[in-house]
Amino acid sequence: MRYKRAYFAGGCFWCTESDLQKATGVVEVVSGYAGGVIVNPTYSDVTSEKSGHRETVEVYYDEKMTTYEKLVQYYLMHIDPTDDGGQFYDRGESYQSVIFYLSEEERLIAEKSLRELDEAKVFDAPVAVRVLPYKNFYTAETYHQNYAEDNTIKYCAYRESSGRDAFLKKYFDTKSWGAYWKE
């Protein structure tokens, strides 16, 4: 069976990877770099803020179990969608939130989900997630893959100290999908 792919940048890819691995219908999540100008960038290239890449995850999903729209919504409920300068204490272009679309249909779905979240007036600031055309993806170094699972103590400390979990609990912990998106 051939799975569909989706690409999301949501700050540190360790967190984005770990969160999206738990989404219904997701088969595999790979950490990497997308959207930049350097071929086969390294972590150092990307975090130097000179390559134009974002830390991104490549998500393989079973469309019999979920939809692209549900993945976009799930992703949005696991980041701070109002932060234009990165995510939590990871700052800079390489940590900005981006939905990279593969088709016009995906672009329209992403824009609709962002618009509906913004119209829900949940936040004091407007939704700032970028929607950009997919142009490349390079798999990150091996030590970045499955980081949360392979480095549980370090990952949990990083995630807690970044403020990500407190933010997610405040805005999304008890909300259903319908609280933000028209079902």
Where in the sequence numbering do the catalytic residues fall?
12
Angle between helices 68-76 and 13-21 (to 10 degrees): 130
Q: Give the dihedral sign, CA 126/170/84/32.
A: negative
Per the structure block, which two tokens stand in for 80?
Answer: 């701070």
The whole-angstrom separation of Cα 82 and Cα 84 is 6
What values do phi and psi take at 9, rounded to 5? -110, 125
